[in-house]
Structure 1
Amino acid sequence: MSETRVLANGDQDACMDEVGRPPGDTPVSSPSWVEKVQGSGGGGLPVPERVLDDAFVAARMSLEFPDGAEGEPVVTIGQEVLEAMNGLWKQCMIVKVLGRHVPIAALSRKLRELWKPSGGMYVLDLPRQFFMVRFDMEEDYLAAVTGGPWRVFGSILMVQAWAPGFDPLRDEIVTTPVWVRIANLPVNFYHRAILMGIAGGLGKPVRVDMTTLKFERARFARVYVEVHLKKPLKGTVLVNGERYYVSYEGLNNICPICGVYGHVVSACPQRVSETMVQMSIQGGNTDLEGGEKSNDGFTMVRRQGRRVEAPVAPVVFAAENFG
C-alpha cells in the first residue's frame, strides 16, 4: 500500500507507486494532504510520524512564556495538525463496562468474541476504566457503535463515538441504550409510531423490537431506548389515562427512592437530605417519613419537597427474560 507523508512546506513525499515512473508521464491527481490523512484507516494502529513530517508539525506549533521564562509555558498546536491527527482516530469509540472493573486483556478478548470484526480491532486503556477501541474497517466500527445493546461479563457495555474533546478524567458516558419493556399495553397500541411515541417519555427511542412488531408476544412491548443514567428512570407511563409499568433490562442498581441508577438506598442523596431535615425538627412531622403505601399499590415518595405517586422502583429484568 502506498504511503504519503506531509513535509514542512506542505508538499508530499512521492508515493511508492510513483517511484520509477517514465519521464513525461503525468501523475494521477491525488487528494490534498488533509484528505489523505482523513482517508487513511487501515494497516493497524496509526503511526502519525509516517503521515505528518516532524518539520511540518514543528512549523505549526508555538511555545510561549507570557509570564516570563520562569512562568507557565503556553503551547499552541495549529489547526491543520489537529485536523490531520483527528483523522487518524475517526473510526474509534469510547466504551465502559457499567459497574465493573475489567482488565484490558479480558475486555479485548471479550469484544472480539462479541463483535467478530472482519478487520483489525485495537483496545487502548484510558483513565477511570474507560477504553478506546479503534477499527481498521469502517463497517466494523459502524456495526459496533450503532448496534447493541451490548453486554459483557453480565453488565451493560456503554458506548459512544470518540470525539477529540472527550476527557476521561472529567467526562462521563451518561446515556446508554437499553431494552425497555412496557407491560400490558393493549394490542391496538402495537404500531411502530405509537410505541416510539410512548417510549419517548422514557428517553430517546431508537427502535422497536421485531418480536413486538410481529405480534409474537403481547404481554409487553419492547422498545430500544437511550436513557440518561444521571436522571430518575421512569417506573410507569400514563397512556390515555391508564398507567402501565416499565422495566429495564440489565440495569440492576436502580435506587427505589429517587429512581436514579448507580447507588443503593442507604446512599441515596434524597434520603440523606430528608433524614437531616427530620433530625432538625423537634417532634418530627410524620408526613416527612419515607414511603407510604397507597390503596392502589403505589408508594408515595417525596421529590423536591412534595409527594408524588410512583412505584417502589423501576423493575429490572435480566436479558434472558426477553424474547
Structure 2
Amino acid sequence: MSWADKVETNDFQASAQKQWQKFQTGNLSFSDQKLEFTEPIFREGRKFAQIDAEEVKMQSANWSSAVICMVLGANPPMAVFEGFIKRVWGHLGIAQIARMTMGLTMVKFNDDATRDHVLEHGLIHFDRKPVIVRPWTTDLSAVRLVRTVPLWIRLQDLGLQYWGSKCLSALVSTIGRPIMVDKFTRERSRVQFARVLVEMEITDNPPKSIQFINELGQIMEQGVEYEWLPIKCKTCAGFGHSMAECRKERNVHWVKKIETQTEKEQDSGVQQNGKLKVEGDQASTGINTKQVEPEG
C-alpha cells in the first residue's frame, strides 16, 4: 500500500469514528427527539411496556382542538377534500389537516372554542353528500366511526330540572353515546329545548322518544327530534344519497376545484354575527341550505 493510500484510509477511519461518536452522544442534527430505553415490567411471566400517564395526558391535550371528518358515502382524494375544508373553515383558523385511515380526515383548529363552533353549527355537504364531523377523542375506533354518526337531537319542552349534565347524559345514553351540548343549552340562554350531540348507530328506525324514571319514581316519556338523519339508497343500500343520486354504475373522477376571486370573497364572508351565511351554489360552498339553525 502506498503512502497516499495509507493517509486516505486513516482519514476515512478517523472521520467514521468521529461520526459514530456524534451519533452516540446524540449530537446529530436530526436527533432532536431522542428516544431512550425504558425498562419493561414483568407480570405472570410476560413482558409489558409501561406507558407514561403524564405524557399521554399532555399529548391528548395537544389534539383536543381537532375534529374527525368523513364524507358519508364517498372517499374523495386528500387534495380535493383538503381544498374543500379550507374553503369552508379556513377563515376560522386551521392549524393542521391530515388524512387518517378508512377515509377519515383530521382537522385541527387553533383552539377548543373554534372546534366547538364548528360542531355546534351542524352539518355541511361535500358534493351533495353529508360530511360527518365529530370531536377527536382518545378512544377512536375506525370500525365504530364508520358504523356510527354524530347527530344533533332536540329534547323539546324538557323540564329545566333535567338540564344538568348528569341528567342529560342519562337521557341520551338510552339512544346513543353523548358527546356534548351546544352553547345555548350550556348557558341556559334558550329554554325551549335542550340540544345535545349524540353518537348513534346508523339505523333505519331511530327512536322517536326516550323513557325515563323521574325523581318521584314515575315513568316519563320525552320526545326526540332529529335535526338531520342519514338517508339510505335502495339501489346500493349505502347511506348518504338517494336512488336518483346513486353512482354505483357510474365512474366518478374527483377534480380539485380552482377558486375564483369571487368565490374567495364569498368564503371570507361565511361567518357573520355568529351564524353560518350561505351564499352562491350549495355544491360550491359546501353548506347545507336545509340545515336547521339553532335559535337564540
In the superposition, the TM-score normalised over structure 2's length comes to 0.46
Kindly indicate whether structure 1 or structure 2 has the higher relative contact order, using CA contacts under 8 Å at least 6 residues apart.
Answer: 2
TM-score, L = length of structure 1: 0.42
